[in-house]
Amino acid sequence: NTVYKDVCFFNIMMDSSQLIPRGFHFANENTHDGVTNGKFDFKDRRDVAPVSYYFIDFGLSSRSPSFEKRGNFTGRVGQDRTVPKISDTIAWDPFKVDIYQLGSVFALIESDYIGLDFLHPLVESMRQTDPSQRPDASGAL
């Protein structure tokens, strides 16, 4: 019963603590301390699976007390400006917006990596212009 309303590539973070046990420097990602170049210790993600991912920035999110009391919203949402059917005056379903926005993230990943064509039908369904044609969260899983 929680809606996020700002699903985007930059609001999904990976916990890299198992992949890079010594950590990495925020300004020089190929070093542990930001200064020392050379050997950068890391583990393959297959060796530490599963890798955890987290949503950050819950500034636009909201929670309903129950499934039956979930409501619709008006106004703009988050960083993804491509979401269709968003209005300042006509109420929209925020859960379907979350599905669309996550579909946009998957579309970026699908286009950047080879071998993810199997995701295309899911991405297409999540990014339908008509919100009623998008799957709900359990349908997308």
Interatomic CA distance for residues 17 and 64, integer angstroms: 33
The pLDDT of residue 38 is 82
3-state class (DSSP) for residue 134: coil
**Half-sphere exposure of residue 71, counting CA atoms within 13 Å on the CB side?**
9
Contact of 136 with 99, CB cutoff 8 Å: yes
| pLDDT tier at 141, thresholds 50, 70, 90 | confident
Beta bridge partners of 12: 55
Residue 67: which pLDDT band, with cuts at 50, 70 and 90? Answer: confident
Give the pLDDT band (50/70/90) at residue 19: very high
Q: Considering Cα of 114, then 137, then 15, then 57, what sign does the dihedral take? A: positive
In percent, the amount of the chain with pLDDT more than 90 equals: 80
